[in-house]
């Protein structure tokens, strides 16, 4: 059970308010996709849930106010894969992913066999085993992205907050990553909140979408209700056509208006 509730959240940076009065509820074991144009405040929402940016309003997990939790307790509850992580220099992939176990082991304690097994398992599932001993600095962008997710996954939390987890991934690795998160969701009842720019993928994996723009929530509900060509024209200034993917979810296809010269 890990229900996330956000109530009357106002968040921002110094004198710059980004989000005003945002409320939502993410049922335990469900997946909320946070969408919206660049600068809408998607990352800010995730960071506010984690307590990383100043905010007022309430964030709770299973009724427990997150603001009242210590750092370690919070890290056992909320796993986070940031959009632009600061990666420590000089660590191998394995050592970096092992850092995800520190809420259980402590920073200076040696990791247990159980920790090593958990890391090896996640590396395998994210196609990183052959890179386990490679330095983080020597990874491609997509490999680094997967290492960041691996670290969040070994944290073994009831809630996963994923900020643009598929950025820089090819379509196969993006699918594998989202499939893995979805599998964890089904197996362990993990609650997922992710931002995703790819609206077709967002629609395929999310139970509900929340559309942010101009500091507030403009739409929330099942993907087929939130993703309409009018909504996308209004909030993204995008010309799109909505098709139906084989699984029945909406697929967003950009429409080019100027005459092409290809072919
Ligand atoms: N550290 C910061 N200090 C001041 N302003 C910030 C900071 N980080 C983000 N902002 C501003 O807050 C607003 C929301 O940023 P945020 O990163 O939450 O948007 P986003 O929806 O995640 O955007 P994107 O789709 O481009 O990743 C933007 O106007 C941005 O310039």
Testing ligand 1's pocket by substitution, the residue of 36, 41, 164 carrying the most ligand atoms inside 8 A of its CB is 41
Find out whether the beta carbon of 235 lies less than 6 Å from any atom of ligand 1.
no
Atom 28, ligand 1: residue with shortest CA distance? 39
Find out whether the beta carbon of 41 lies less than 6 Å from any atom of ligand 1.
yes
CATH of 4-254, one of 3.40.50.2300, 2.20.28.120, 3.40.50.300, 3.40.1550.20: 3.40.50.300
Find out whether the beta carbon of 84 lies less than 6 Å from any atom of ligand 1.
no
Domain boundaries, the chain: 4-254
Find out whether the beta carbon of 38 lies less than 6 Å from any atom of ligand 1.
yes
Reading the chain (263 residues) residue by residue, the pLDDT tens digits are 699 999 999 999 988 999 999 999 999 999 999 999 999 999 999 999 999 998 999 999 999 998 888 888 888 899 999 987 788 888 999 999 999 988 877 666 677 888 889 999 999 988 899 999 999 999 988 888 899 999 999 998 999 999 999 988 889 989 988 998 999 899 989 999 999 999 999 999 999 999 999 999 999 999 999 999 899 999 999 989 999 999 999 999 999 887 665 55
- In order, the DSSP letters of the chain are ---EEEEEEEEEETTEEEEEEEEEEE-TT-EEEEE-STTSSHHHHHHHHHT-S-EEEEEEETTEEGGGS-HHHHHHHEEEE-SS--PPTT-BHHHHHHGGGHHHH-SSSPPPHHHHHHHHHHHHHTT-GGGTTSBGGGS-HHHHHHHHHHHHHHT--SEEEEESTTTT--HHHHHHHHHHHHHHHHHH--EEEEE-S-HHHHHHH-SEEEEEETTEEEEEESHHHH--HHHHHHHH---EEEEE-TTS-EEEEE---SPP---
Cα of 151 to ligand 1 centre, how many Å? 24
Question: Model ipTM?
Answer: 0.98
pTM exceeds 0.90: yes
């Amino acid at each position: 059970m890990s229900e996330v509730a956000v109530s009357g959240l106002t968040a921002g940076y110094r004198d710059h308010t980004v989000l005003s009065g945002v409320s939502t509820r993410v049922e335990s074991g469900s997946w909320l996709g946070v969408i919206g144009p660049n600068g809408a405040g998607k990352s800010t929402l995730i960071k506010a849930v984690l307590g990383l940016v100043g905010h007022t309003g309430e964030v709770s997990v299973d009724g427990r106010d997150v603001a009242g939790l210590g750092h370690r307790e919070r890290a056992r509850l909320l796993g986070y894969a940031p959009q632009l992580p600061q990666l420590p220099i000089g660590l191998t992939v394995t050592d970096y992913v092992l850092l995800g176990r520190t809420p259980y082991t402590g920073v200076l304690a040696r990791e247990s066999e159980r920790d090593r097994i958990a890391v090896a398992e996640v590396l395998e599932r994210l196609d990183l085993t052959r890179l386990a001993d490679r330095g983080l600095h020597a990874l491609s962008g997509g490999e680094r992205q997967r290492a960041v997710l691996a670290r969040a996954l070994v944290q073994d939390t009831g809630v996963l907050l994923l900020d643009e987890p598929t950025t820089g991934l090819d379509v196969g690795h993006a699918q594998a990553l989202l499939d893995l998160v979805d599998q964890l969701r089904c197996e362990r009842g993990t609650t997922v909140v992710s931002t995703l720019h790819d609206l077709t993928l967002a629609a395929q994996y999310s139970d509900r979408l929340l559309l942010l723009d101009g500091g507030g929530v403009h739409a929330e509900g099942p993907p087929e209700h939130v993703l309409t060509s009018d909504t996308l024209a209004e909030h993204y200034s995008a010309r799109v056509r909505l098709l139906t993917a084989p699984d029945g979810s909406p697929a967003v296809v950009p429409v080019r208006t100027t005459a092409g010269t290809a072919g």
